């Protein structure tokens, strides 16, 4: 089994997909860092580095937008909740956006959980089986005296390893690169979590302080779980679809459809059973309102687990029974 895993890892490395992922990160993170630096400079000019003033103005502006009839009700609800959280930070004299490498990493990971990181995972997942079929090397692999499920299992384990590495490398690179601009501190700044949202009001009873390092660790854990689910789906499609391009397009279309649906899900509650709507697990940590009312972390985990288990089940049963030789 270990030999199989070694073999698969070398194959993934040889295909250089992983280096492409690293390259994408090395190009995109500096771009975001630069954009973030511009935002910081702007607020420095307007508020001379006084975050309390900036936050006060942000709260007032949010309150003003609530009065406008042109803003849809769902957005108002969302803004009302964000407003109450910002007010909580202000009242407790904690800066939620203190500029440093850790804050950048936290924001960047929050924003990449439902599309960016899944896309990177897919780059590895989508061709892990299908490429062997399109090049014909699958025959070589399956004529060896090893059981088919073992072959597939080694591929799945390798994919899981790479998923962990990708999430870690994304966080690490965004910390290292943004830290060069914003400084490497900020591991111990306090953050609030546990905002209990019901309707448009926020219940503060369960709010508690989490140091930034623990927050980032929990956040990465949740992102990792979401990525494993995406990897499982990509794995299944890779087994079912012969061409690598087709399997990439299928998953990409699903993920992008998910981000579009995310904004419309409030008027279509059944959408909460789709895996794409549940990928933003970090929202439960930050206390951001869910796209559909009444979604909870256990619910999302259950939905995601069922999708992943079904995907793996289909992948294994098809792979062990299908005629691979054509």
Name the site residues for another protein (rule: CB under 8 A).
5-6, 9-10, 13, 52-53, 56-57, 59-60, 63-64, 67-68, 87, 90-93, 158, 160-162, 164-165, 167-168, 192-194, 206-211, 214, 217-222, 224-225, 281, 284-285, 297-298, 301
Query: Is 253 within 8 Å of 276 (Cβ atoms)?
Result: no
Choose between 111 and 193: whose C-beta lies nearer to another protein. 193
Task: Report the residue count for the chain.
Answer: 326
The CA distance from 79 to 188, in Å, is 28
Strand pairing class (190-193; 208-211) = antiparallel
For helices 2-14 and 17-47, angle between their N-to-C axes, nearest 10 degrees: 60
CB of 313 to another protein, least distance (A): 21
CB of 317 to another protein, least distance (A): 25
Choose between 63 and 317: whose C-beta lies nearer to another protein. 63
Choose between 133 and 175: whose C-beta lies nearer to another protein. 175
Give first-to-last CA distance, the chain, whole Å.
26
- What's the angle, vertex CA 4, arms to CA 2 and CA 6, rounded to 5? 70
CB of 259 to another protein, least distance (A): 22
Choose between 64 and 143: whose C-beta lies nearer to another protein. 64
Choose between 241 and 295: whose C-beta lies nearer to another protein. 295
The CA distance from 37 to 20, in Å, is 26
CB of 93 to another protein, least distance (A): 5
Choose between 89 and 316: whose C-beta lies nearer to another protein. 89
What is the chain's percent helix, strand, coil content, to nearest 5? Answer: 75, 5, 20
Look up tokens 């959980």; give the residue. Answer: 113
CB of 52 to another protein, least distance (A): 7
CB of 175 to another protein, least distance (A): 14
CB of 321 to another protein, least distance (A): 29
CB of 34 to another protein, least distance (A): 28
Number of Cβ within a 10 Å radius of residue 129: 28
Choose between 32 and 47: whose C-beta lies nearer to another protein. 47
DSSP code string of 21-37: HHHHHHHHHHHHHHHHH
Choose between 137 and 206: whose C-beta lies nearer to another protein. 206
Burial 140-158 (b: 16+ CB within 10 A, else e): ebeeeeeeeeebbbbbbeb
Sign of CA pseudo-dihedral 130, 239, 165, 27 = positive
């Amino acid at each position: 089994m270990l030999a199989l895993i070694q073999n698969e890892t070398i194959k993934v490395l040889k295909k250089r997909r992983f280096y492409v992922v690293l390259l994408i990160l090395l190009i995109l993170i500096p771009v975001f860092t630069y954009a973030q630096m511009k935002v910081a400079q702007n607020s420095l000019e307007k508020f001379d580095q006084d975050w309390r003033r900036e936050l006060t103005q942000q709260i007032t502006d949010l309150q003003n937008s609530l009065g406008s009839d042109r803003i849809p009700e769902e957005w108002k609800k969302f803004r009302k909740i964000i407003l109450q959280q910002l007010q909580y930070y202000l009242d407790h004299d904690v800066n939620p956006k203190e500029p440093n490498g850790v804050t950048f990493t936290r924001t960047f990971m929050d924003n990449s959980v439902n599309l960016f990181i899944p896309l990177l995972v897919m780059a590895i997942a989508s061709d892990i089986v299908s490429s062997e079929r399109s090049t014909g090397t699958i025959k070589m692999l399956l004529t060896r005296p090893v059981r088919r499920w073992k072959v597939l299992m080694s591929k799945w384990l390798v994919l899981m390893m790479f998923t962990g590495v990708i999430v870690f490398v994304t966080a690490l690179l965004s910390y290292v690169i943004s830290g060069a601009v914003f400084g490497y501190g900020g591991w111990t700044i306090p953050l609030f979590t546990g905002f209990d949202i019901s309707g448009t009001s926020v219940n503060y009873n369960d709010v508690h302080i989490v140091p930034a390092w623990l927050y980032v660790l929990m956040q990465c854990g949740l992102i990792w779980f979401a990525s494993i689910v995406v990897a499982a789906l990509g794995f299944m499609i890779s087994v079912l679809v012969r061409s690598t391009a087709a399997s990439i397009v299928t998953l990409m279309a699903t993920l992008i459809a998910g981000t579009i649906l995310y904004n419309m899900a409030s008027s279509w509650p059944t959408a909460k059973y789709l895996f794409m709507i549940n990928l933003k697990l970090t929202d439960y940590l930050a206390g951001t309102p869910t796209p559909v009312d009444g979604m909870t972390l256990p619910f999302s985990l259950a939905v995601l687990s069922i999708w992943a288990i079904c995907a793996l089940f289909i992948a294994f049963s098809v792979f062990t029974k299908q005629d691979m030789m054509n």
